């Protein structure tokens, strides 16, 4: 079902470069229209080649989730990328503190806090280091972050501890849901950041940075409050974004190339399982991913090396792929899929496929 | 909540060696009592050190899921381990065929078929190579495998193609379910293998190998039909096995060591997410894993670097860990957790922790 040259044995993850570049341009243009900064989350791709393309398309720097990701990008991209935000309320032990001090010598560094205890840890190990700090605000996902109207008190406490607080950020993760969820999460983000910014001002701190955004909420982003967006998934998109309606099938730029190994009637089994596409399966999704070529087929179950895919009972038999056929599976969540492979295969129009090392794969700490 | 010396920054995967060895011995003893072979599935651990311990405890060889896993173990363990079964109905392209031919020169090799088309591919590239072939039978999971009474016809066709068919195998994966599921899956396995063996005999082929088993069904394995079991998870166990009742909390030998980064009332957030414990979450599980120390706490949601954990509303506040506390999280599915890290940390009673490289990590093809 694809005539792509087989650079490797299946399964492997393959990138469509034309689609990728189109996705990068679309979001960079959107940020420019809004007049706000784009700081893409690099946890999605973990690739130096992709980070460079994001910077070239206009990103001001990168967002990462861990110290390890920051180290990987600081090493691989210097001096092109020298502005990293670790968007996570780290608990900074002495050893993590030493790693952060080393990082701060190599790159501009922004860190996150969401408690006075966390701020105290940070201040203890980074007192003399020039890092920016932002307060994480819970805008409705109820994961980490403080309630918006408490942001100022935390910022005040951090400032008193000697930290350089520059603003607030949130992740409207509850926008990952069907129907009105995206719009509502964007509204919640607007309200939470507005309130948090006011709370900082009330405590004598200027909220210069008001950072938010996610791939599903980009379309609803408002420059009235946001100074920066941090979408991650948009270069590749995935089955979640497809089902949320935040992209179309033509915008999917990464797939698992897999081989059909079994067929019984309208059921097929392919050799891509949870060890290459990830096991993510939110309740609102139709299955464990999608076949790019067959939008009505459902990925009904996933084992480590099998995806079981059911076609509609009245699907034309001749259109159901037989064993040996190559197909393209769209992962539900591209960030966890990429984290399972050592490199992404990037077919080129002329000549052999490019190979992009996933430099921050497994960088969990 | 643990006084383990912190060899590494959290999160990381840690192995309890005493528990591991106890688990290895228990299952090896069980196979010996039954008088059948133990051929553990190495996809669970992907570690040479652990495979050696399994062989030392009495295993006859290893089961693997992919050619890549077979290559990793053939290279790392020669000549200790020289008997590998790739328990997967591979679609053997020319390139995969070349890899299998190379493997067959280094190790005794057993391969799987579940269709005449697949057998034809295999025969075309391995006609002159001494490999054993077994027919995969569907005992009720409805993934790959043939219906039991068709096993003989397939074995006959494969034999006619020049393949050396030695028996049948099945995976009773539908035993992963609450209540009577384990017992029923073991019964289904018994019936399917009995019927498939008869079907082979009816077609003039001796079913010397009758291989089955999984960690949840070990307790119900019957030597009346089985000649071999292939459990994978038993060295470590995990939250799925705990909730199925096929192990106790004291049998859990692998945990993600994580740090609490946030607390709001009875909710905490730790720094182990789906990128270190995997996103596996069958509908019958209570959550996305467990806290080893707090059996009543529920892992209600999982992001890439966050697990959100809710304690019961009336849980003593003093027993809810504050930010900075180290906890042990039990993954739902240990096979996908191990596949996310480059090494397992193995604390030693005397001296520094051992480090076991996950040599077949990401070996999907």
pLDDT tens figures, A28-53: 999 999 999 999 999 999 999 999 99
The alpha-carbon gap from A33 to the nearest alpha carbon of chain B, in Å, equals 31
The CATH class given to the A18-235 domain equals: alpha beta
Instruction: Say whether pLDDT at A5 is over 50.
Output: no
Q: What is the pLDDT of residue B333?
A: 98
- The answer to whether residue B284 neighbours chain A at the CB level (below 8 Å) is no
Closest Cα to residue B345, out of B3, B8, B2, B1? B8
- CATH 3.20.20.10, domain B17-235, yes or no: yes
Q: What is the pLDDT of residue A139?
A: 97
Task: Find residues 109-148 of chain B whose CB sits inside 8 Å of chain A.
Answer: 114-115, 117-118, 121, 142-144
Q: Do B275 and A362 touch (CB under 8 A)?
A: yes
The alpha-carbon gap from A325 to the nearest alpha carbon of chain B, in Å, equals 10
Q: Would you place residue A237 in the very low, low, confident or very high pLDDT band (cuts 50, 70, 90)?
A: very high
Q: What is the mean pLDDT of each run of 10 residues along chain B (365 residues)?
A: 61 98 98 97 98 96 98 91 94 95 95 98 91 97 97 98 98 93 95 98 98 92 95 98 95 98 97 98 95 96 98 96 97 98 96 96 98
Instruction: Say whether pLDDT at A6 is over 60.
Output: no
Residue ranges, comma separated, of all CATH 3.20.20.10 domains in chain B are: 17-235
- Are A290 and A242 in contact by the 8 Å Cβ rule? The answer is yes
* Candidates B93, B143, B364; nearest CB to A11: B364
Q: Do B365 and A8 touch (CB under 8 A)?
A: yes
How far is the C-alpha of B189 from the C-alpha of B209, rounded, in Å? 14
Residue ranges, comma separated, of all CATH 3.20.20.10 domains in chain A are: 18-235
Cα–chain center distance at B20: 14
Instruction: Say whether pLDDT at A244 is over 60.
Output: yes
The CA-atom distances, in angstroms, between A107 and each of A71, A73, A227, A241, A364 are: 10, 10, 21, 32, 20
How far is the C-alpha of A360 from the C-alpha of A362, rounded, in Å? 6
How far is the C-alpha of A42 from the C-alpha of B303, rounded, in Å? 15
Q: What is the pLDDT of residue A2?
A: 43
- The answer to whether residue B304 neighbours chain A at the CB level (below 8 Å) is yes
Residue ranges, comma separated, of all CATH 2.40.37.20 domains in chain A are: 240-357
Is the previous residue joined to A218 through a cis bond, with omega within 30 degrees of 0? no
Q: What is the pLDDT of residue A86?
A: 98
Q: Look at the alpha carbons of A297, A235, A103, A359 in this order and tell me if their dihedral is positive or negative.
A: positive
Q: Would you place residue A87 in the very low, low, confident or very high pLDDT band (cuts 50, 70, 90)?
A: very high
- The answer to whether residue A281 neighbours chain B at the CB level (below 8 Å) is yes
Q: What are phi and psi of A258, to 5 degrees?
A: -135, 165
The CATH class given to the B240-357 domain equals: mainly beta
Cβ-Cβ contacts under 8 Å, B261 against chain A:
88-91, 118, 144
Closest residue in chain B to residue A301, using alpha carbons only? B143
Residues across chain B: 365
Q: What is the mean pLDDT of residues A324-339?
A: 98
Q: Would you place residue A291 in the very low, low, confident or very high pLDDT band (cuts 50, 70, 90)?
A: very high
Is the previous residue joined to A361 through a cis bond, with omega within 30 degrees of 0? no
């Amino acid at each position: 079902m694809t005539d792509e040259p087989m650079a490797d044995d299946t399964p492997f993850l393959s990138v469509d470069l034309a689609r990728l570049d189109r996705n990068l341009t679309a979001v960079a243009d959107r940020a420019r229209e809004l007049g706000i900064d784009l700081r893409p989350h690099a946890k999605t791709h973990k690739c130096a080649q992709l980070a460079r393309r994001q910077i070239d398309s206009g990103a001001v720097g990168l967002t990462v989730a861990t110290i390890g990701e920051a180290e990987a990008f600081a090493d691989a991209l210097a001096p092109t990328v020298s502005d990293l935000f670790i968007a996570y309320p780290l608990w900074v032990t002495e050893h993590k503190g030493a790693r952060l001090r080393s990082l701060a010598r190599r790159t501009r560094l922004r860190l996150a806090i969401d408690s006075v205890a966390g701020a105290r840890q940070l201040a203890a190990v980074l007192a003399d280091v020039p890092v920016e700090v932002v307060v994480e605000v819970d805008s409705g996902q109820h994961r980490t972050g403080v309630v918006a109207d408490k942001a100022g008190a935390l910022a005040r406490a951090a400032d008193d501890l000697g930290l350089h607080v520059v603003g607030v950020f949130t992740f409207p993760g509850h926008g990952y849901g069907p129907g009105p969820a995206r719009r509502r999460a964007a509204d919640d983000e607007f309200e939470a950041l507005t309130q948090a910014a006011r709370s900082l001002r009330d405590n004598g701190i200027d909220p210069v940075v008001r950072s938010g955004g996610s791939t599903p909420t980009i379309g609803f982003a408002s420059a009235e409050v946001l100074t920066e967006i941090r979408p991650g998934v948009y270069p590749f998109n995935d089955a979640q974004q497809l089902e949320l309606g935040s992209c179309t099938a033509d915008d999917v730029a990464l797939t698992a190339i897999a081989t059909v190994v079994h067929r019984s009637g309208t059921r097929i089994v392919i050799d891509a399982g949870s060890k290459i596409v990830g096991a993510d399966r939110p309740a609102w999704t139709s299955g464990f991913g999608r076949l790019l070529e067959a939008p009505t087929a459902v990925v009904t179950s996933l084992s480590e090396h099998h995806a079981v895919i059911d076609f509609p009972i009245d699907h034309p038999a001749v259109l159901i792929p037989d064993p040996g056929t190559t197909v393209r599976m769209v992962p539900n969540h591209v960030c966890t899929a990429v984290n399972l492979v050592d490199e992404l295969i990037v077919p080129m129009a002329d000549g052999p496929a490019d190979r992009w090392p996933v430099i921050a794969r497994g960088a969990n700490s």
